[in-house]
Every structure is written in C-alpha cells, then in structure tokens.
Chain A
Amino acid sequence: MDIFLDFFRGPEGITLLSVYHAVLRLSLPILAFLVVLRSARSLLGFRREPEVWAWLRLATGELQPVTHWENLLGRKKSADVVLDFATVSKNHAVLTRLDDGGWTITDIGAKGRVEVNGKPMLSGRVDYGDTISLAGLEMVLEPVSREEAQMQALSRTKAGKGHSPGLTLLLLTVFQLLAVLELVFNRPEDRVTVISAYGILIGVQWAMFVGQKLLKRSGFEVETIAFFLTTIGLGVIASAYASEMYKQLIAMGLGIGIFLVLGFCLRDLETAKKLRFLAAGAGVLLFLVNLVLARSVYGSRNWIYLGGFSFQPSEFVKICFILTGASTMDRIVTRRNMLAFVIYTAFIGACLVVINDFGAAAIFFVGFLAIALLRSSSYPSAVLVLVGVGMLAVLVLAAVLAIRHFPHVASRFAGYGHIWEDSFDKGYQQTRSLMCIAAGGLFGLGLGNGWMQYMAGEGASDTDLVFAFVSEEWGLLMAVMMIFALAMLGLFVVRSAKVARSSFYTIGASAAMSILIMQAILNFFGTVDFLPLTGVTFPFVSNGGSSIMACWGLLAFIKACDTRQNASFAVKLSEKEAAK
C-alpha cells in the first residue's frame, strides 16, 4: 500500500528525519485519543450511586432513602420518594435540605394537606424526629448517622477509580511535549516563546491537579479535557503569531480564577442563590456598557477596548445568564412563573440584535431553551413551546431585517451554500477552509506548516475557522477529537443529572453544556458551510481572551454537577464524611 509508505516520506524521500516526523505525526492523534478515551471511560462509565442525605421511616417500618437536596414526595413513579398510597397526591410535597443540614418541607398544592407533628404546614422547617403527614400518611424524618455517612463514602466508587486522572494528565503532558518538539523544529525562531508558554500551561495544569489532591478531590477529567483543547488552541496561536500565546495564557489564568471562585461559590446553594441577583445585575450592566462603549468590528458592535485589551462583554453575560436562570426545585414547583426570566432573556436578545451579533443570539436562545425546559418540570409544555417559537420568530425576523439593512451580515449570509461559485469573494473563508482541511489529510501537515496561519486575524482562521486551522496542521483526526471531547462532556452532564444534589446544579450544568456545544456547532458548521458563518468561537480552542475566560467560567457549572465520590472541588463533602 503506497499511501501508507507515503506517510513516512519527506521532501527527500524516506529518511531518518522523515520517519521521525511521521512517528511524531502519528503519536499526536494516538495520545489525544488516549486522553479523550480515558476521560470518557471515567466520566461516562461511573456507576450512578445515589448519596443518601436522610431517611423517611414509614408507619410500616419501611425506610425510604432521601437521595437529593431537593426531593419530590408523591404518588407518581417519577417522584424522588415514591409513596404509593391512594390518598397521597401525584406531586405532594418537596423536601429540601438546607446548607446547614436542616430540612424544610413545602406543600406544592396537593389535595391532601401536609402536616408536621400534627400541625398543617405550607412551607417550613422539619427537624429530625419530626413526624410528617401527607394526607394522613405518616413518616418520620431520620438522620444519617456518622457511621452510615462514612460507610457510604467508603462504599461509593471514588471518582476516577480504574482510570487514574493522574495518568491521563501525564499522557496529556507527553502530548504537549511532542507538540512543543514539532513546533520548535518547524518554528526555531519562536522556540523560546513556545517552550515557555507550554511550560506555563503544563505547570498550571499540574498545580491545579495537586491543589485538588490536597482538597481530597480526585476527579480531574473535566479540567483535563479543557487543557487538552487549550493545548491545541495554543498550537494554533503559536502558528499564527507566537507572541500572542502569553496573552491567551493570561486570559486562561483569569478564566481559571473565575472557574475556581465560581466553583467554590456553587458548593453552598445559599451562596449560589445570592449570586443570582448579582449576576442578573452584572449581565444587564455588561450589556449597557457594551451598548455605550463598544466598537464595531466586522459589522458586529460587540468589542470593547480598554487600555490595550479588548473583550466581548457578551461572553461573560453567558455566565450571568445561567446563574440568573438556574433555580432550586422548591421554587420551580411553587412559583411557576418564569416571566421574569423570559423578560430577562428578551432583554439580552434585544441587546444582541441591536449590536448585530446573531451568533451570540443563537447561543443565548439555546441556553434559554435548556433552562426553560428544566424549569418547566410541571408546566404545560405548550406554554414553553409558545415562548420558544415566539422568540425564534423574533430572532428570525431580526435576522431577516439585518440581512436587508446591514451589508456585513448580508454578505456573510450571501455566500452560504454557494461558496464554490464565489470562491474568491463571499465564499473565500469557507472555500479556503475546505481546501486546507483536504490538504491536511487525516494527520495534518505539521504544526506551523499550514497555510491557514496567513489568514489569521482579519481572515478569522484562528477564531471562526479554527476547525480548519486545526485540521490542516494537526490533521482531521485531531479536529474531530476536539468535537468528540466536547460531545463527551455533554453526555457526562446528562448522565450525572440523575444523581445531582439540586436542580440548581442540573440546570446550570445543562445550560452551560448546551451553550458550549452550540458554540461548537455554529463554529464547525459555519466553517464547513453547513450553516452561514456566524463568527462564533470554538470553546477553549479559538484564539480570544474573553472566549476562553467565559469557557472556564461555564466549566464551573459542570464541575458542580459532578457528584461522584470525592470528585469535584465544587461539590462539598458532608461534614460527617469529612470528619473521618
């Protein structure tokens, strides 16, 4: 098979050097595959063992475990504590755990009453030993003893068991070192920058790993995926303009700061709930600042320049938006009104239309759907569909108007689907992308050897078209691997929702993931002409400070839903477990 021999061929035929490069070219995707695969097996293969927070002892002596911080008690099968007695309503009450370890019970409009120690209760505190009565069915709330808690902590599978995150990170480090070797060979003039930038990256990731170990946390797969994507992103920047690597690293550092702070805040629901109002205000403020200060770049007025730094406020609004939208279950089922959130979303949508950023508008729309869907748990879905369709109609209308009136938007849409007919003008970006993807083959031309680098900056090859950039230099396999990595995180979020502590975390993680995946969809589909180019960044890979900072922020929500035993710094160990 000649083409396999060709794999080892260089400009001077098969030489020692060409074989060395071929081995390097082959090693990178294999290592990437191992990193993604090991993370996937750890994140998708874990057994979903519930955490028991309290017991409900029925009059019959039967013990029912209370496995979430928010629990629906009722007759229906999908209730968290199923009480199959004729008098109990389908949705009867919500039993909620507070941060201090106490409990409250909320009557959610059941036919039969909720009583605590014989007194009717609409919403109020329950102490251990109290008798709860749901339409006459009595049960006693009992605590989980220290021994039970420790037994449970011991018996639940530790995060990353069998797929040591340390080894995965080590593989990632080898991957990074090989990338450095290739970059240094192809770009000797940038070797100092490249070596020090990747050195910093490797240092940061191991520092975080050790830090989490000190916190007795062992789940590092989510961060590993983020660092894997960042490694590729840095390679793109090294090829386009090495000097910007530091800038990206600084942004990454700030992003990790947001990630850690947000993660720690999310451990306690009370703190998180307080953050909501702050976040809602910050979101509005950011957009107002945007409207006043922003400068128009490529037709979208979404960039702010402050003292040499540029950033896109809408990126940070994503985090605020999720915090605003997330909600705990007792609120969801009692105050069914999402009107405030709908108005908030509409405001954001209107701002985005005004600043002409349709990619971001589509992303927020998807985020809204994800949140609204989860919050409508006992809502007639027709209302949701109505709101969704209404918003979509407004978006489409705005897009149509924009295409009519703004030449920049119009030209982006004009080339769509006809890129080859106008390959030197309207279809320029996408046709060059496809040419370069094809030129790269499955294994790429080598880091720094591509042509897309000449299209960086104005041509957006390092941002909007980064899929093609990676395909050309790292190979199509690697580009596909970045998508697999993201999709895999999505599956993890869906999987872990079942054992989440609070709906606040489920909503946060699901919305964050939906936003990240939507970004990948718009970026990738735009590059290969499945959709019009909307100028959206690929999470963690695209060159851009605000983007990578926001991505790390969104990652905190995903960390907060990782309830595997000792997995995540953003998930608190109960005091009883911690005391062991």
Chain B
Amino acid sequence: MKSIAKRTWFALILACILLFGVLTFAIRYFLYAERWVSFTGSPHVYTNGKLDTGEIVDRGGEVLYTSAKDRTYAESAALRKATLHLIGDRAGNIPPRILRAYASKLFGYDKLNGTAAMETSDGELRLTVSAQVQAVAMQAMAGQKGAVGVYNYKTGELLCAVSSPSFDQLDPPDPENDNADGRWDGVYIYRFFHSSYTPGSIFKLTTLAAALEQDPGLAEKRFHCEGSVLINGERITCPKAHGELSLAEALSSSCNCSFAQIALQTGAEALTEKAEAIGIDRNLKFDGITTVRGHFDLSDADDNALAWAGIGQYTDLINPCQYMVYMGAIASGGSAAMPYLVESAHSGGKETYRVSRSQTEPMLSPEAAELLRGYMRRNVEQVYGAVQIPGLEICAKSGTAEVGADANTATFAGFIDSEDYPLAFIVVVEQGGSGSRTCAPIARDVLQACVNVLDGER
C-alpha cells in the first residue's frame, strides 16, 4: 500500500499545474488588465464601438477629440487635418493608438474595483504636440508626401509629429475609387512613426560619428575629390569634382567620394556597431505607438556596398522619429530624452497618469557630438541659408536619397543649439528632389512656429 500511495503524486502534479496557472494568470492580470479592459470592443468601455468617455487636448488645451456622446473633433478643418493621424479617423482606417493605450486612464479603471466605480465622461488626455505647429507643418508640406517631426531633446515632448497627406475627418476622401493621381497613396499610414526611408546624406552623420570615435585624428585630415572614385570596379560619384577638402567641407558639400573613403577606413564592423548604438534597426515604444525599425546590414556588403552604405544608400533605411532622436543626442552631447506624446491623463477630477521621462542610451561620445555640432552649424551658415532663423543657432544636414531612376527622397535633419529652444527636427519629403531646397524652408516654418509656441508658454 505504501508504494501505491506514493504514486498519487500524479494528482499532486496536476494540482500544481493548476495553481501555477493561477499564479501566472494573476501576474498577467496585474500587468495587462488595463489593456484588456480598454481593448476595442470591450463591452464595459465602449458603446457601439465608441469609447465611452473623455477628450484629448493638445499642449495648449485645444480640444482635438471628444468621445462623450458622439465623437467630435477639433473645430477648424486645418486642425482636424493636422491631427488626424494622432486621433484616428472615423471609419477606423487609422487606428486610435494613443486613445487605446490610455483608455483605462481616461475612464478611471483600477484593478481593485474593475469598472465598478467608473467615472462618466470627464476624462482628459493631454498631449505634448501643438495643434498649431502641426497645422503649420501640414501647410508647409503642401500636399507632398512625407513626415515632419520636432521634439524637445531635453524633455522628450514631441511638439510636432505630422504625416502627409492627410484629410479632414469630416470630409474624408475615397482613395479606393478616387486616386488616379496617386495623391492618397498610403494616406492611412502614420509616416512619421510607421514608415522607413532611405536616408541619403543625413546618414553621413552616423558614419562620421563612427569614424571620429575610431580615429580622433580624422578631424585634421584632408580629402581629395575628382568627382568620382572607383571602388571594387564600380564608381561612386559626386555631382562635381570638389577638389581639396577639409573634413568640415566634405560634410557641408556632402562629398560622396570623401565619405566613401571614410566609410572604408572605418570599416563594416565599426559602422554596424554605431548604427546599433544609435538604434537604427530598433523600434521605439511609447504611448501606444511602436515605430517601425530602420535597417542597416553590411553582412553581405563588399567594399563598394560599404561605401554606399556609409553615404546613406545601399540597403540603409531609417525611421524619421528614431533618427530625429539621434539629432537630439548630437545636440545634447551623446544621449537625448526619449520622445513621448502623452503628458498626463485625468479622470474624475484626479490625475490618473503623469509621464515619467527617460533618457536614451548614449549614442555617441561627447567629443564626437561636439565636433558634429560644429560641422552641422557650419553647414547651415554656409549652405542652408533657407533654414536660418535670426538669433537661433540651427545645426543641420540635408540628404537627397536616390530611391529610383527619377525619384529622390528629400531629407533634412538637425536641431537648434539653444538652452531655451532645445528642439531636434527632421523633415522627409517623398519624391522631394533636393533635400536642402525642398525641406529647409519647411523646417524653418515649423521651427519658427515651435519657437512662437514656447515663447507663448513663458
């Protein structure tokens, strides 16, 4: 009997599996209950598919969305259009990601009481963006496809996160039947977070950071450009022969031949490490948004490909938001604030959420950042006059990425070197031609609007 009795451990194991399941589920409950209860279609939080309660306002208190009775949006068509991708559209083609992530904070859910003590329709979600700045950006983009982003690299507040094209919530287009000219292509995509682009020459800022960290003497070197250089039997070309160049000049004239050399000297390993440190192929996650990953992979690259990769071509891809954070890191000496969109949430007269800010990992050394800042300032002074705003030290780099026979992606990224206006930015225009010519004026308008908003808050 004793030996038989011992074999009842089988029932004991089953009981343990059951109890282990309870424990696992209890942990999951405490981690995810908010997400479950506020998921679209949750019978307690949504009526007829609409979130029951709350409104979303911008940093200035401008109401962008109200869900209490029926969904209503910002008052002016321009603001509705400029904030479409943040809020989500009526038909559900653009998901309301932020709202979904904070639904539980908006109606005052808690794990102890469930929805039993739920408040009714006085929730408020405050965003960091300025609807006014968004509208300026939208206007500056003038219907071109692309993305504009500005954020405070000291705090992480995103002031502008625009995706173009966009439309008025109350007057939606019909892209299925009315898109002969292709102007609604990808209109439902939030390009700033969810597109990746060939960066072109703004990627030289990554290559240069890797090179400067590996060889501090590089800053003193001189380069020679004959208009093209043969690497591995294929040519790397510049628009013209740049002649003798300092490193700063190589960057300001965006000399491909010089940067091909720099990339080769630095080598695939150091470049890949730098791209990893910057986080090119990682995604950022905040406020219900997960940015798409960029791409940097030299595992199959020969020397020619390595050279192209170093000047932002080959298979390189960046996500605008992520690369903008790199600009912030250069501005603040190596590591920047993590971006975010939601400042706070209130429900039932109580604060249910307040952002806790954080920093990125170091992306580059302070010395390299200092040198890059100087070069980028020089770029603006000597080449990108169009972005100049009197009294502000703007630093930038442009890019013109070749993505097809006749197609260029225009890119422009940088920051304001200022204690009062610590803003990093990026502008991407698809089929935009020259980076500096297309994007610099857009950047100027948007930065000016941001400065005005910050001045207004003082």
B40 A441 Cβ-Cβ under 8 A? no
Name the segment of A122-130, A199-207, A395-403, A492-500 touching the other chain.
A492-500
- Asked if A436 meets B4 with Cβ closer than 8 Å, knowing A366-B14, A480-B26, A513-B11, the reply is no
B142 to chain A, nearest CB (A): 38
Task: Judge whether A286 is part of the interface by a CB distance below 8 angstroms.
Answer: no
Q: Which single member of B18, B40, B45, B112 contacts A517 (CB below 8 Å)?
A: B18
What is the 8 Å Cβ interface bit string for chain B, positions 1-34, against chain A (1 contact, 0 not)? 1111111111110110111011011101100111
* Residues of A contacting B42 in the complex (Cβ-Cβ under 8 angstroms): 435, 439
Q: Is residue A2 within 8 Å, beta carbon to beta carbon, of the partner chain?
A: yes
Question: Quick one: CB contact mask for B101-133 with A, threshold 8 Å, 1 for yes?
Answer: 000000011111111110000000000000000
CB distance from B16 to the nearest CB of A (A): 8
Contact A431 B39 (CB under 8 A): yes
For the complex, what is the distance from the CA of A569 to the CA of B378, rounded to whole Å?
95
A377 contacts B by Cβ under 8 Å? yes
Q: Are B8 and A497 in contact (CB under 8 A)?
A: yes
Of A31-39, A141-149, A276-284, A483-491, the one with at least 4 CB within 8 A of chain B: A483-491
* Residue in chain A with minimal CB distance to B2: A78
CB-nearest residue of chain B relative to A520? B18
Q: Which residues of A contact B1 (CB under 8 A)?
A: 68, 70-72, 80, 329, 500, 503, 506
What is the distance, in angstroms, from A427's C-beta to the closest C-beta of chain B?
Answer: 10
Contacts of A431 in B (CB 8 A): 36, 39, 41
**Residues of chain A contacted by B5 (CB below 8 angstroms):** 497-498, 500, 506
By a CB distance below 8 angstroms, the chain B residues around A498 are 2, 5
Q: Are A506 and B114 in contact (CB under 8 A)?
A: no
CA distance A520 to B20 in the complex (A): 13
Q: Is the interface of B mostly helix, strand, loop or mixed?
A: helix
Contact status B37-A438, CB under 8 Å: yes
Chain B residues closer than 8 Å to A420, beta-carbon distance: 39
Q: Which of B6, B111, B116 has the most CB of A within 10 A?
A: B116
> In the docked arrangement, what's the CA distance between A420 and B350, Å?
30
Give the chain B neighbours of A2 by CB distance below 8 A: 350
Nearest residue, chain B, Cβ from A1 = B112
Decide: B2 and A72 in contact? CB cutoff 8 A.
yes
Q: Interface residues of A: mostly helix, strand, loop or mixed?
A: helix
Q: Which residues of A contact B112 (CB under 8 A)?
A: 3-4, 6-7, 441-443
Q: Which residues of A contact B25 (CB under 8 A)?
A: 524, 528, 530
- Whether the pair A6, B110 counts as a contact (CB closer than 8 A) is yes
A181 interfacial by beta-carbon distance below 8 Å: no
Number of interface residues of B (CB under 8 A): 47
Name the B residues within 8 Å of A454 (CB-CB). 43
Within 8 A of B (CB), among A57-115: 68, 70-72, 78-80
Task: Give residues 1-34 of A contacting B (CB, 8 Å).
Answer: 2-4, 6-7, 9-10
Q: Is B44 an interface residue (CB 8 A)?
A: yes
The distance from the CB of A420 to the nearest CB of chain B, in whole angstroms, is 7
Q: Which of A159-167, A172-180, A368-376, A548-556 contacts B (4 or more CB under 8 A)?
A: A368-376
CA distance A431 to B2 in the complex (A): 47
Does B43 contact A451, Cβ atoms closer than 8 Å? yes
Interface string of A373-387 (1 = CB under 8 A from B): 110111000000000
B18 in contact with A486 (CB, 8 Å):
yes
Contact B37 A374 (CB under 8 A): no
Interface hub of B1, B12, B45, B108 (most chain A Cβ within 10 A): B1
Decide: B24 and A530 in contact? CB cutoff 8 A. yes
Which A residues touch B21, using CB under 8 A? Answer: 521, 524-525, 530
A520-B28 Cα distance, complex, nearest whole Å: 19
B28 surroundings in chain A (CB, below 8 A): 528
CA of A484 to CA of B26, assembled, Å: 13
Does A514 count as interface, using CB distance less than 8 angstroms?
A: yes
A440 & B7 in contact (Cβ 8 Å cutoff): no
B39 CB to nearest A CB, Å: 6
Q: How far is the CA of A528 from the CA of B28 in the complex (A)?
A: 10
Q: Is the CB of A373 within 8 A of B36?
A: no
Closest approach, in angstroms, between the C-beta of A489 and any C-beta of chain B?
A: 9
From residue A269, how far is it (CB to closest CB) to chain B in Å?
14
A132 contacts the other chain (CB 8 A): no
- Asked if A406 CB lies within 8 Å of chain B CBs, one says no
Q: Is the CB of A514 within 8 A of B114?
A: no
Asked if A521 meets B18 with Cβ closer than 8 Å, knowing A435-B37, A528-B25, the reply is yes
Residue of chain B at shortest CB distance from A6: B117
A134 to B15, CA, bound (A): 41
**Contact of A437 with B by CB under 8 A:** yes
Give 27 pairs: A residue, B residue, CB < 8 Å, sorted on A.
A7-B113, A78-B3, A329-B4, A374-B7, A374-B8, A377-B7, A420-B39, A434-B32, A435-B43, A437-B29, A438-B32, A438-B111, A441-B112, A441-B113, A442-B111, A443-B112, A443-B113, A476-B29, A486-B18, A490-B18, A497-B8, A500-B1, A510-B10, A510-B11, A521-B21, A528-B28, A530-B24
* Residues in B lying within 8 Å of A, measured CB to CB: 1-12, 14-15, 17-19, 21-22, 24-26, 28-29, 32-34, 36-37, 39-45, 108-117, 350
